[in-house]
Amino acid sequence: MATETISRFERGATLPSLVTVQRLAEALGVRIADLLGESSVATDDQVDVMLSWMRPLDTEGRSFVMDLVKRSCDFLKANKR
């Protein structure tokens, strides 16, 4: 498996197929459930996922997303949701 492919999995830019997950589990000597059992909710991980979504966007697209996220956060703070 290519280093870039693994990097994309780690960044959340793409997800491995079930066959790939099975091969990874076998290579690591663990069950598939051990690999899929928990997903991280750490802030840094969430930011990395969002960055992977924004990377392919041009400057205008990134500005649009940033403005949308800011407005959404401001709205939710004001309405305490």
Residues 47 and 79 in one domain: yes
44 and 77 housed in the same domain: yes
Do both 60 and 28 map to the same domain?
no
pLDDT the model gives residue 25: 84
Per-residue pLDDT of the chain (81 residues; tens, 9 = 90+): 678 887 887 777 888 888 888 888 888 888 888 777 765 556 677 888 888 889 999 999 999 999 999 999 899 989 885
Q: Answer yes or no: do 34 and 51 share one domain.
A: no
Q: Are residues 25 and 1 in the same domain?
A: yes
pTM of the predicted model over 0.85: no
How much is the pLDDT for 5? 81
Co-location of 15 and 53 in the same domain = no
Q: In this structure, which long-range contacts are made by residues 55-59, counting pairs with CB atoms below 8 Å and at least 24 apart in sequence?
A: 55/13
Give the phi and the psi of residue 12 in degrees, each rounded to 5: 80, 15
